A and B are shown apart, each in its own frame.
Chain A
């Protein structure tokens, strides 16, 4: 079945540092890929997405590129802020079999210190 693997956290950075959170996947067919963010006490919010190979999703300074050859969708940000502290989830959705069941990674906690 489909699966998503994320690097384990927490990831602890100082403000203005560069961020990378790794995400790799296995899936049948051609999945769409997503990053969600969960701030403390809240639900998940869609951060960015990419629907085909070599697409780059971007939002709020975050970027991720759909790499089919390495089955990866790593999240990056050039300069993190304290307000970026949250849990980040990588996810995929595949239409194989006509069933749209999303597959989520286990989440990576990001802590940014001033």
Chain B
């Protein structure tokens, strides 16, 4: 089925461990995003990639790194996990491009999320 696929769905890490969250989309979308969702905080943007080969910081980038491996894949890495990074992480994509208004009314397609617990 077309959409955004995230792996893993659940993960428990010890403080200081590292891991990579994977995200892939098969809709030929240009832009991809990583969000974290915490109770009472809504969605907060961590990093985004407006096109293949580019990445930019969002609202809460500290403690994370990203890689836009190709047009389909956008991974999020935690180099040294901390309990404050316990959250649900969502990847999203959209056909938006950096120029023009194509896709402005399209909205975003979200993955089903990765629930991460850091102990």
Residues of A within 8 A of B105 (CB): 32, 49, 51
* Interface residues on chain B, number (Cβ under 8 Å): 28
Q: Is A17 an interface residue (CB 8 A)?
A: no
Q: Which of B11-19, B36-44, B71-79 contacts A (4 or more CB under 8 A)?
A: B36-44
- With A42-B112, A42-B113, A43-B110 known as contacts, the answer to whether A101 contacts B104 (CB < 8 A) is no
Distance of A46 Cα from B111 Cα, bound (Å): 12
The contact sample of 17 A-B pairs, CB cut-off 8 A, is A32-B105, A42-B113, A43-B90, A44-B43, A44-B108, A46-B107, A49-B105, A89-B43, A93-B107, A95-B101, A101-B45, A101-B48, A102-B108, A104-B43, A106-B40, A106-B41, A106-B42
| B94-119 CB contacts (< 8 Å) to partner A | 94, 96, 98-99, 101, 103-105, 107-113
* Interface residues on chain A, number (Cβ under 8 Å): 23
Q: Which residue of A lies closest to B44 (CB)?
A: A104
Chain A 6-46, CB-CB to B under 8 Å as 1, else 0, gives 00000000000000000000000000101010000111111
